[in-house]
């Protein structure tokens, strides 16, 4: 494998010294970039783009052509696993993801197959291999998956939901059925992330987008416990390097101590946490990733720079910080504002890494 020219992202995740704080953005390959919109139009639709390794590689690399980012993230979707389980994923304009089949009973869950990542999601692994080849060591490649609980909500609801009423009704009324679903998903995600690592992903992130919708007791039992099982089952060294694992629970600030005990290398923070407070709470156990409110990117560059400065000061000196947004960049952001953000992180963070 080609040697990495810029490994500060991987070093920061392992709390090793870096020259400046590394930065990447969740959804950095996306609709805010006109070149992404053009490639998606060529592909025809979102899933056709995901399933074409060359086009998935093209959009993964687009933000790196614009900005001095410290990592690339695989272009894909968190719902590829449920799709491979036969639920029929499709995207409706203005409505987001939908499944042609939703899980409504324990019998539906019992009938659900556990996919083989190499066979049933081979297009994702082809994309990972293609991206690694084209990156040629510029920056590391991040692989990812949705968390079991997050995937389960889409599968039970049949798509996006504001209140998760079917998922939570199953969780409380039929906990055995929900545990069976989460068990199948934990096995699937472990296999899927390990396949990405074997194909060339150099770090992986688990997106627990909807874990923060749960009560504290339910989060620990139905979300974190299954992410813990995934972390325990992951390949942690490949090509002679540690493969860091990042856990990101949106609205998960209540549970940072429990998440830090999971064995993950880093925790992603949304913008509702103060990163300095989070650092004090987790100590030296994990690195932290985050956590600027994506909406700050609607503000003027001077305002963006001031918010970057505030977050860097809150974290303080020393390694263990990967700068990111607290959630994905939104489609209406001016690409020049994203550039101002990335430039500010690199320029202003150098002072925190001297000595």
Is 337 labelled a binding residue? no
Q: Where do we find the tokens 């993801």?
A: 97
- Our separate counts of H helices and E strands in the chain read 17, 11
Q: Residues 31, 138, 187, 229: which is the catalytic one?
A: 31
Is 186 labelled a binding residue? no
User: Does the annotation count 100 as an active-site position?
Assistant: no
40, HSE (Cβ side, Cα atoms, 13 Å): 17
Q: Which of 77, 188, 190, 191 has the alpha carbon at shortest distance from 127? A: 77
State the Cα angle at 71 between 66 and 72, rounded to 5°. 70
8 A C-beta contact, residue 192 and residue 122: no
Q: Residues 32, 36, 67, 154: which is the catalytic one?
A: 154
Q: Residues 40, 66, 166, 241: which is the catalytic one?
A: 40
User: Does the annotation count 208 as an active-site position?
Assistant: no
Is 154 labelled a binding residue? yes
Phi and psi at 173, nearest 5°, equal -85, -40
Q: Is 252 exposed, middle or buried (0-12, 13-18, 19+ CB in 10 A)?
A: buried
Is 29 labelled a binding residue? yes
The total number of residues written for the chain in this structure: 355
Q: Residues 7, 8, 11, 27: which is the catalytic one?
A: 27
Is 27 labelled a binding residue? yes
User: Does the annotation count 226 as an active-site position?
Assistant: no
Is 86 labelled a binding residue? no
User: Does the annotation count 77 as an active-site position?
Assistant: yes
Is 179 labelled a binding residue? no
Q: Residues 77, 120, 208, 270: which is the catalytic one?
A: 77
Burial annotation 61-74 (CB, 10 A radius, 16+ → b, else e): bbbbeebebbbbbb
Is 219 labelled a binding residue? no
Structure tokens at 54: 């060359």
- Antiparallel, parallel or unpaired: β 241-242 and 321-322: unpaired
User: Does the annotation count 165 as an active-site position?
Assistant: no
Q: What distance in Å separates the CA atoms of residue 18 and residue 319, rounded to the nearest whole number?
A: 7
Is 196 labelled a binding residue? no
In the sheet with 72-73, reading across from the earlier edge strand, the strands are 72-73, 141-146, 203-208, 245-249, 266-268, 287-289, 321-322
Helix (H) or strand (E) holding 288: strand 287-289
Q: Which residues are annotated as a binding site for substrate?
A: 27-31, 77, 154, 209, 327
Q: Which residues are annotated as a binding site?
A: 27-31, 77, 154, 209, 327
Active site residues per annotation: 27, 31, 40, 77, 154
């Amino acid at each position: 494998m080609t040697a990495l020219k810029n490994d500060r992202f991987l070093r920061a995740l392992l709390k090793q010294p870096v020259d400046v704080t590394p930065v990447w953005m969740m959804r950095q390959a996306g609709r805010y970039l006109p070149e992404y919109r053009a490639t998606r139009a060529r592909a025809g639709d979102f899933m056709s783009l995901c399933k074409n390794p060359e086009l998935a590689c093209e959009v993964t690399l687009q933000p790196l052509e614009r900005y001095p980012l410290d990592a690339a993230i695989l272009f894909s979707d968190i719902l590829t696993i449920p799709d491979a389980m036969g639920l029929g994923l499709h995207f409706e304009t203005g409505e987001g993801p939908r499944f042609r089949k939703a899980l409504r009973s324990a019998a539906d869950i019992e009938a659900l197959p556990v996919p083989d990542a190499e066979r049933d999601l081979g297009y994702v692994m082809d994309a990972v291999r293609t991206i690694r080849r084209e990156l040629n060591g510029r920056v590391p490649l991040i692989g990812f998956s949705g968390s079991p609980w997050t995937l389960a909500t889409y599968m039970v609801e049949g798509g996006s939901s504001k209140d998760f009423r079917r998922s939570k009704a199953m969780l409380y009324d039929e906990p055995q059925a929900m545990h069976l679903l989460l068990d199948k998903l934990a096995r699937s995600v472990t296999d899927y992330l390990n396949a990405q690592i074997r194909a060339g992903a150099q770090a992986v992130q688990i997106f627990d987008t909807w874990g923060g919708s749960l009560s504290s007791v339910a989060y620990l039992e139905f979300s974190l416990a299954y992410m813990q099982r995934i972390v325990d089952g992951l390949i942690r060294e490949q090509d002679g390097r540690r493969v860091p694992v990042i856990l990101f629970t949106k609205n998960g600030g209540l549970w940072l101590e429990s998440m830090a005990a999971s064995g993950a290398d880093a925790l992603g923070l949304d913008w509702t946490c103060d990163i300095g407070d989070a650092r004090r709470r987790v100590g030296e156990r994990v690195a932290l990733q985050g956590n600027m409110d994506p909406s700050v990117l609607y503000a003027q560059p001077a305002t963006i720079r001031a918010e970057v400065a505030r977050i860097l000061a809150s974290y303080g000196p020393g390694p263990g910080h990967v700068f990111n947004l607290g959630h994905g960049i939104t489609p209406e952001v001016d690409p020049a504002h994203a550039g101002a953000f990335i430039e500010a992180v690199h320029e202003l963070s150098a002072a925190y890494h001297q000595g």
